[in-house]
A and B are shown apart, each in its own frame.
Chain A
Amino acid sequence: MIERNSGIVLTAEQKRRRNARSVAIGLTLGALVLLFYVVTIVKLGPGVLHRPL
Protein backbone atom coordinates (compact mmCIF):
# COMPACT_ATOMS: atom_id res chain seq x y z
CA MET A 1 0.00 0.00 0.00
CA ILE A 2 1.30 3.41 -0.91
CA GLU A 3 1.09 6.09 1.76
CA ARG A 4 0.14 9.49 0.50
CA ASN A 5 0.80 12.75 2.24
CA SER A 6 -2.55 14.30 3.13
CA GLY A 7 -1.21 17.71 2.26
CA ILE A 8 -1.94 19.21 5.66
CA VAL A 9 1.25 20.26 7.38
CA LEU A 10 0.85 21.85 10.79
CA THR A 11 2.72 25.03 11.51
CA ALA A 12 4.87 25.23 14.63
CA GLU A 13 2.16 27.31 16.33
CA GLN A 14 -0.56 24.79 15.44
CA LYS A 15 1.59 21.98 16.81
CA ARG A 16 2.20 23.93 20.02
CA ARG A 17 -1.53 24.54 20.49
CA ARG A 18 -2.41 20.92 19.72
CA ASN A 19 0.14 19.76 22.30
CA ALA A 20 -1.33 22.18 24.85
CA ARG A 21 -4.85 20.83 24.16
CA SER A 22 -3.61 17.25 24.50
CA VAL A 23 -1.95 18.01 27.82
CA ALA A 24 -5.16 19.70 29.06
CA ILE A 25 -7.29 16.68 28.05
CA GLY A 26 -4.80 14.33 29.71
CA LEU A 27 -4.79 16.34 32.95
CA THR A 28 -8.62 16.46 32.94
CA LEU A 29 -8.89 12.69 32.50
CA GLY A 30 -6.29 12.16 35.23
CA ALA A 31 -8.22 14.45 37.56
CA LEU A 32 -11.43 12.49 36.86
CA VAL A 33 -9.71 9.18 37.67
CA LEU A 34 -8.42 10.67 40.94
CA LEU A 35 -11.88 12.11 41.74
CA PHE A 36 -13.65 8.77 41.24
CA TYR A 37 -10.98 6.97 43.27
CA VAL A 38 -11.21 9.41 46.20
CA VAL A 39 -15.04 9.48 46.16
CA THR A 40 -15.10 5.67 46.13
CA ILE A 41 -12.94 5.60 49.27
CA VAL A 42 -15.06 8.33 50.89
CA LYS A 43 -18.37 6.59 50.11
CA LEU A 44 -17.30 3.09 51.04
CA GLY A 45 -15.12 4.11 53.98
CA PRO A 46 -13.85 1.08 55.94
CA GLY A 47 -16.23 -1.02 53.82
CA VAL A 48 -13.65 -0.90 51.05
CA LEU A 49 -11.79 -3.66 52.94
CA HIS A 50 -14.87 -5.83 53.42
CA ARG A 51 -14.83 -8.15 50.48
CA PRO A 52 -14.90 -11.90 50.00
CA LEU A 53 -11.39 -13.25 49.75
Chain B
Amino acid sequence: MTDISAIDQRDAVAPAQPSMAGVEDYVALLKPRVMSLVVFTALVGLLIAPGHLHPVLGLTALLCIALGAGAAGALNMWYDADIDAVMTRTAKRPIPAGRIAPREALGFGMTMAVSSVVILGLLVNWLAAMLLAFTIVFYVVIYTMWLKRFTPQNIVIGGAAGALPPVIAWAAVTGGVGIESILLFLIIFFWTPPHFWALSLLRANEYARAAVPMLPVVAGLAETRRQILIYSLVLFPVALAPWLSGYAGLVYGAAAAALGIAFIALAWTLKTTESESAAKSLFAYSVLYLFLIFAVLLVDQQLAWVHP
Protein backbone atom coordinates (compact mmCIF):
# COMPACT_ATOMS: atom_id res chain seq x y z
CA MET B 1 0.00 0.00 0.00
CA THR B 2 1.20 3.49 -0.79
CA ASP B 3 2.67 5.46 2.07
CA ILE B 4 0.70 8.67 2.19
CA SER B 5 2.04 10.07 5.46
CA ALA B 6 4.57 12.26 3.66
CA ILE B 7 1.98 14.12 1.63
CA ASP B 8 -0.75 14.13 4.23
CA GLN B 9 0.98 16.93 6.10
CA ARG B 10 -0.02 19.55 3.58
CA ASP B 11 1.42 22.46 5.49
CA ALA B 12 4.59 20.80 6.65
CA VAL B 13 7.67 22.81 5.77
CA ALA B 14 9.78 20.65 3.53
CA PRO B 15 13.52 21.16 3.32
CA ALA B 16 14.48 23.11 0.23
CA GLN B 17 14.92 20.63 -2.57
CA PRO B 18 15.53 21.50 -6.19
CA SER B 19 12.16 21.19 -7.91
CA MET B 20 11.77 18.42 -10.46
CA ALA B 21 8.51 19.88 -11.75
CA GLY B 22 8.28 20.31 -15.49
CA VAL B 23 5.92 22.71 -17.26
CA GLU B 24 3.72 19.73 -18.13
CA ASP B 25 3.25 19.02 -14.40
CA TYR B 26 1.86 22.51 -13.83
CA VAL B 27 -0.39 22.05 -16.86
CA ALA B 28 -1.61 18.75 -15.34
CA LEU B 29 -2.50 20.64 -12.12
CA LEU B 30 -4.98 22.68 -14.16
CA LYS B 31 -6.99 19.53 -15.06
CA PRO B 32 -6.97 20.40 -18.79
CA ARG B 33 -9.64 17.83 -19.72
CA VAL B 34 -12.12 19.26 -17.23
CA MET B 35 -11.11 22.73 -18.33
CA SER B 36 -11.95 21.98 -21.97
CA LEU B 37 -15.64 21.32 -21.16
CA VAL B 38 -15.72 24.37 -18.87
CA VAL B 39 -14.30 26.56 -21.63
CA PHE B 40 -16.69 25.15 -24.21
CA THR B 41 -19.83 25.67 -22.09
CA ALA B 42 -18.61 29.18 -21.20
CA LEU B 43 -17.95 29.92 -24.88
CA VAL B 44 -21.54 28.96 -25.75
CA GLY B 45 -22.83 31.14 -22.89
CA LEU B 46 -20.71 33.99 -24.24
CA LEU B 47 -21.94 33.61 -27.81
CA ILE B 48 -25.65 33.17 -27.16
CA ALA B 49 -25.94 35.97 -24.58
CA PRO B 50 -27.79 39.04 -25.88
CA GLY B 51 -25.76 42.18 -26.29
CA HIS B 52 -22.34 42.92 -27.61
CA LEU B 53 -18.95 42.27 -26.10
CA HIS B 54 -15.81 43.16 -28.04
CA PRO B 55 -14.13 39.91 -29.20
CA VAL B 56 -10.94 40.79 -27.32
CA LEU B 57 -12.92 41.23 -24.10
CA GLY B 58 -14.81 37.99 -24.86
CA LEU B 59 -11.52 36.13 -25.23
CA THR B 60 -10.29 37.76 -22.02
CA ALA B 61 -13.40 36.56 -20.17
CA LEU B 62 -12.92 33.06 -21.57
CA LEU B 63 -9.24 33.07 -20.58
CA CYS B 64 -10.10 34.16 -17.03
CA ILE B 65 -12.80 31.49 -16.70
CA ALA B 66 -10.30 28.87 -17.94
CA LEU B 67 -7.63 30.14 -15.51
CA GLY B 68 -10.13 30.17 -12.64
CA ALA B 69 -11.21 26.60 -13.44
CA GLY B 70 -7.54 25.58 -13.61
CA ALA B 71 -6.87 27.26 -10.27
CA ALA B 72 -9.77 25.38 -8.69
CA GLY B 73 -8.34 22.15 -10.14
CA ALA B 74 -4.86 22.88 -8.73
CA LEU B 75 -6.24 23.70 -5.26
CA ASN B 76 -8.36 20.54 -5.40
CA MET B 77 -5.24 18.49 -6.18
CA TRP B 78 -3.38 20.22 -3.33
CA TYR B 79 -6.06 19.35 -0.79
CA ASP B 80 -6.89 15.89 -2.14
CA ALA B 81 -3.31 14.62 -2.53
CA ASP B 82 -3.91 12.03 0.20
CA ILE B 83 -6.95 10.63 -1.64
CA ASP B 84 -5.25 10.84 -5.04
CA ALA B 85 -2.29 8.80 -3.75
CA VAL B 86 -4.41 5.73 -3.00
CA MET B 87 -6.48 5.75 -6.18
CA THR B 88 -5.03 4.20 -9.33
CA ARG B 89 -6.69 6.80 -11.58
CA THR B 90 -5.05 9.71 -9.76
CA ALA B 91 -1.86 8.26 -8.20
CA LYS B 92 0.28 9.57 -11.07
CA ARG B 93 -0.87 13.16 -10.58
CA PRO B 94 2.06 15.57 -9.95
CA ILE B 95 1.66 15.86 -6.15
CA PRO B 96 1.20 12.18 -5.15
CA ALA B 97 3.89 11.24 -7.69
CA GLY B 98 6.26 13.65 -5.87
CA ARG B 99 7.04 15.90 -8.83
CA ILE B 100 5.38 18.99 -7.30
CA ALA B 101 5.49 19.82 -3.59
CA PRO B 102 2.06 20.47 -2.00
CA ARG B 103 3.07 24.03 -1.12
CA GLU B 104 4.10 24.72 -4.71
CA ALA B 105 0.66 23.60 -5.88
CA LEU B 106 -1.04 25.74 -3.21
CA GLY B 107 0.93 28.82 -4.25
CA PHE B 108 0.31 28.15 -7.93
CA GLY B 109 -3.42 27.63 -7.40
CA MET B 110 -3.88 30.69 -5.19
CA THR B 111 -1.93 32.91 -7.58
CA MET B 112 -4.02 31.73 -10.52
CA ALA B 113 -7.29 32.06 -8.59
CA VAL B 114 -6.65 35.64 -7.46
CA SER B 115 -5.22 36.66 -10.86
CA SER B 116 -8.14 35.27 -12.84
CA VAL B 117 -10.73 37.03 -10.65
CA VAL B 118 -8.89 40.38 -10.56
CA ILE B 119 -8.19 40.39 -14.31
CA LEU B 120 -11.81 39.49 -15.11
CA GLY B 121 -13.04 42.24 -12.78
CA LEU B 122 -10.67 44.93 -14.08
CA LEU B 123 -10.96 44.16 -17.78
CA VAL B 124 -14.54 42.86 -18.17
CA ASN B 125 -16.89 43.40 -15.23
CA TRP B 126 -17.05 42.77 -11.50
CA LEU B 127 -20.28 40.72 -11.46
CA ALA B 128 -18.62 38.11 -13.67
CA ALA B 129 -15.51 38.31 -11.46
CA MET B 130 -17.53 37.80 -8.28
CA LEU B 131 -19.31 34.81 -9.85
CA LEU B 132 -15.92 33.35 -10.81
CA ALA B 133 -14.63 33.89 -7.27
CA PHE B 134 -17.75 32.23 -5.88
CA THR B 135 -17.27 29.27 -8.25
CA ILE B 136 -13.65 28.76 -7.18
CA VAL B 137 -14.46 29.07 -3.45
CA PHE B 138 -17.48 26.77 -3.82
CA TYR B 139 -15.43 24.11 -5.61
CA VAL B 140 -12.42 24.27 -3.31
CA VAL B 141 -13.99 24.95 0.09
CA ILE B 142 -17.56 23.63 -0.10
CA TYR B 143 -16.96 20.66 -2.43
CA THR B 144 -13.33 19.62 -1.96
CA MET B 145 -12.76 20.41 1.71
CA TRP B 146 -16.21 19.61 3.04
CA LEU B 147 -18.76 17.74 0.92
CA LYS B 148 -16.42 15.29 -0.83
CA ARG B 149 -15.33 13.64 2.42
CA PHE B 150 -18.65 14.08 4.22
CA THR B 151 -21.69 13.07 2.15
CA PRO B 152 -22.65 10.91 -0.85
CA GLN B 153 -24.47 14.01 -2.15
CA ASN B 154 -21.00 15.56 -2.64
CA ILE B 155 -21.04 15.68 -6.42
CA VAL B 156 -24.74 16.63 -6.58
CA ILE B 157 -24.23 19.85 -4.60
CA GLY B 158 -20.64 20.31 -5.75
CA GLY B 159 -21.86 20.10 -9.34
CA ALA B 160 -23.07 23.68 -8.98
CA ALA B 161 -19.46 24.83 -9.35
CA GLY B 162 -19.08 23.06 -12.69
CA ALA B 163 -22.43 24.44 -13.85
CA LEU B 164 -21.58 28.11 -13.30
CA PRO B 165 -19.16 28.87 -16.20
CA PRO B 166 -21.91 29.67 -18.75
CA VAL B 167 -23.53 31.94 -16.15
CA ILE B 168 -20.21 33.74 -15.64
CA ALA B 169 -19.82 34.12 -19.41
CA TRP B 170 -23.40 35.42 -19.67
CA ALA B 171 -22.68 37.95 -16.93
CA ALA B 172 -19.51 39.01 -18.76
CA VAL B 173 -21.59 39.99 -21.81
CA THR B 174 -24.80 41.32 -20.24
CA GLY B 175 -23.67 42.48 -16.81
CA GLY B 176 -26.51 40.42 -15.32
CA VAL B 177 -27.80 36.89 -14.79
CA GLY B 178 -30.71 36.01 -17.10
CA ILE B 179 -33.19 33.15 -16.92
CA GLU B 180 -31.58 31.67 -20.05
CA SER B 181 -28.24 31.39 -18.27
CA ILE B 182 -29.96 29.77 -15.28
CA LEU B 183 -31.36 27.14 -17.69
CA LEU B 184 -27.82 26.43 -18.94
CA PHE B 185 -26.75 26.12 -15.32
CA LEU B 186 -29.55 23.63 -14.61
CA ILE B 187 -28.66 21.46 -17.61
CA ILE B 188 -25.07 21.00 -16.36
CA PHE B 189 -26.24 20.71 -12.74
CA PHE B 190 -28.57 17.76 -13.47
CA TRP B 191 -26.10 16.23 -15.94
CA THR B 192 -23.31 16.04 -13.34
CA PRO B 193 -24.69 13.24 -11.05
CA PRO B 194 -25.28 10.60 -13.76
CA HIS B 195 -21.97 11.55 -15.40
CA PHE B 196 -19.95 11.27 -12.20
CA TRP B 197 -21.79 8.29 -10.72
CA ALA B 198 -21.23 6.30 -13.95
CA LEU B 199 -17.51 6.82 -13.35
CA SER B 200 -17.74 6.10 -9.62
CA LEU B 201 -19.49 2.77 -10.35
CA LEU B 202 -16.29 1.72 -12.10
CA ARG B 203 -14.08 2.98 -9.24
CA ALA B 204 -16.23 2.05 -6.22
CA ASN B 205 -13.49 -0.09 -4.63
CA GLU B 206 -10.92 2.66 -4.95
CA TYR B 207 -13.25 5.26 -3.45
CA ALA B 208 -13.96 2.87 -0.57
CA ARG B 209 -10.22 2.37 0.02
CA ALA B 210 -9.71 6.15 0.03
CA ALA B 211 -12.68 6.53 2.44
CA VAL B 212 -14.52 8.87 0.07
CA PRO B 213 -18.27 8.45 0.68
CA MET B 214 -19.30 8.25 -2.97
CA LEU B 215 -22.83 6.98 -3.56
CA PRO B 216 -21.80 3.44 -4.70
CA VAL B 217 -19.71 3.08 -1.52
CA VAL B 218 -22.41 4.31 0.85
CA ALA B 219 -25.66 3.18 -0.81
CA GLY B 220 -24.47 0.35 -3.06
CA LEU B 221 -24.19 -0.18 -6.80
CA ALA B 222 -27.91 -0.94 -7.36
CA GLU B 223 -29.06 2.28 -5.66
CA THR B 224 -26.48 4.26 -7.66
CA ARG B 225 -27.81 2.83 -10.93
CA ARG B 226 -31.36 3.74 -9.82
CA GLN B 227 -30.28 7.30 -8.97
CA ILE B 228 -28.51 7.61 -12.32
CA LEU B 229 -31.75 6.70 -14.08
CA ILE B 230 -33.78 9.17 -11.96
CA TYR B 231 -31.38 12.04 -12.73
CA SER B 232 -31.37 11.08 -16.43
CA LEU B 233 -35.19 11.33 -16.41
CA VAL B 234 -35.03 14.72 -14.66
CA LEU B 235 -32.36 15.92 -17.11
CA PHE B 236 -34.67 15.27 -20.08
CA PRO B 237 -37.25 18.06 -19.41
CA VAL B 238 -34.55 20.35 -18.02
CA ALA B 239 -32.61 20.09 -21.29
CA LEU B 240 -35.83 20.75 -23.24
CA ALA B 241 -36.61 23.85 -21.14
CA PRO B 242 -34.76 26.36 -23.38
CA TRP B 243 -37.00 25.24 -26.28
CA LEU B 244 -40.20 24.95 -24.20
CA SER B 245 -39.70 28.45 -22.82
CA GLY B 246 -39.04 29.90 -26.26
CA TYR B 247 -35.37 30.75 -25.84
CA ALA B 248 -34.28 28.14 -28.39
CA GLY B 249 -35.79 26.89 -31.65
CA LEU B 250 -37.10 23.60 -32.94
CA VAL B 251 -33.67 22.42 -34.08
CA TYR B 252 -32.48 22.56 -30.49
CA GLY B 253 -35.71 21.03 -29.15
CA ALA B 254 -35.49 18.04 -31.51
CA ALA B 255 -31.79 17.50 -30.83
CA ALA B 256 -32.24 17.80 -27.04
CA ALA B 257 -35.09 15.28 -27.18
CA ALA B 258 -33.06 12.78 -29.25
CA LEU B 259 -29.94 13.20 -27.12
CA GLY B 260 -32.03 12.91 -23.94
CA ILE B 261 -33.76 9.72 -25.10
CA ALA B 262 -30.35 8.15 -25.84
CA PHE B 263 -29.17 9.24 -22.36
CA ILE B 264 -32.19 7.62 -20.69
CA ALA B 265 -31.79 4.48 -22.83
CA LEU B 266 -28.17 4.07 -21.70
CA ALA B 267 -29.14 4.72 -18.06
CA TRP B 268 -31.90 2.11 -18.39
CA THR B 269 -29.46 -0.39 -19.94
CA LEU B 270 -27.09 0.25 -17.03
CA LYS B 271 -29.86 -0.38 -14.51
CA THR B 272 -31.08 -3.58 -16.15
CA THR B 273 -27.80 -5.16 -17.26
CA GLU B 274 -25.75 -4.02 -14.24
CA SER B 275 -22.65 -4.33 -16.40
CA GLU B 276 -19.38 -2.41 -16.29
CA SER B 277 -19.49 -1.87 -20.03
CA ALA B 278 -22.87 -0.12 -19.67
CA ALA B 279 -21.36 2.23 -17.05
CA LYS B 280 -18.42 2.93 -19.39
CA SER B 281 -20.79 3.61 -22.28
CA LEU B 282 -22.91 6.00 -20.21
CA PHE B 283 -19.84 7.86 -18.93
CA ALA B 284 -18.42 8.29 -22.45
CA TYR B 285 -21.82 9.27 -23.85
CA SER B 286 -22.44 11.80 -21.06
CA VAL B 287 -19.35 13.79 -22.12
CA LEU B 288 -20.51 13.70 -25.75
CA TYR B 289 -24.06 14.64 -24.65
CA LEU B 290 -22.98 17.82 -22.88
CA PHE B 291 -20.75 18.84 -25.77
CA LEU B 292 -23.48 18.22 -28.35
CA ILE B 293 -26.33 19.86 -26.44
CA PHE B 294 -24.34 23.10 -26.05
CA ALA B 295 -23.10 22.90 -29.66
CA VAL B 296 -26.66 22.48 -30.95
CA LEU B 297 -27.83 25.39 -28.79
CA LEU B 298 -25.18 27.54 -30.48
CA VAL B 299 -26.08 26.31 -33.99
CA ASP B 300 -29.78 26.85 -33.27
CA GLN B 301 -29.15 30.45 -32.27
CA GLN B 302 -27.02 31.13 -35.34
CA LEU B 303 -29.85 29.74 -37.48
CA ALA B 304 -32.29 32.08 -35.72
CA TRP B 305 -30.07 35.01 -36.71
CA VAL B 306 -29.88 33.86 -40.32
CA HIS B 307 -33.65 33.04 -40.54
CA PRO B 308 -35.32 35.16 -37.86
What is the interface of chain A, defined by CB distance below 8 A to chain B? 8, 10, 13-14, 17-18, 20-21, 23-24, 35-36, 38-39, 42-43
Contacts and interface: CB of A to CB of B under 8 A. Distances in A.
Contact of B57 (A18, A20, A42): A42
B60 A35 contact: yes
A23 B24 CA distance: 13
Contacts of A23: 23
Interface in B1-59: 16, 18-23, 26, 54, 56-57
A17 B20 contact: yes
A38 B23 contact: no
Q: Which 8 A-B pairs have the closest CB atoms?
A: A24-B23, A42-B56, A17-B22, A14-B18, A20-B23, A39-B123, A42-B54, A10-B18
B274 to A, nearest CB: 47
Nearest to A20: B23
Given A35-B60, A39-B60, A42-B54, A21 B123 contact: no
Q: How large is the interface on B (under 10, 10 to 19, 20 to 34, 35 or more residues)?
A: 10 to 19
A42 B123 CA distance: 10
A8 B23 contact: no
Contacts of A42: 54, 56-57
Contact of A8 (B18, B54, B60, B119): B18
Interface of B: 16, 18-23, 26, 54, 56-57, 60, 63, 119, 123
Contacts of B119: 35
- A21, A39, A42: which has the most chain B beta carbons within 10 Å? A39
B4 to A, nearest CB: 25
Nearest to A35: B60
A31 to B, nearest CB: 9
Contact of A17 (B21, B54, B56): B21
Contacts of B60: 35, 39
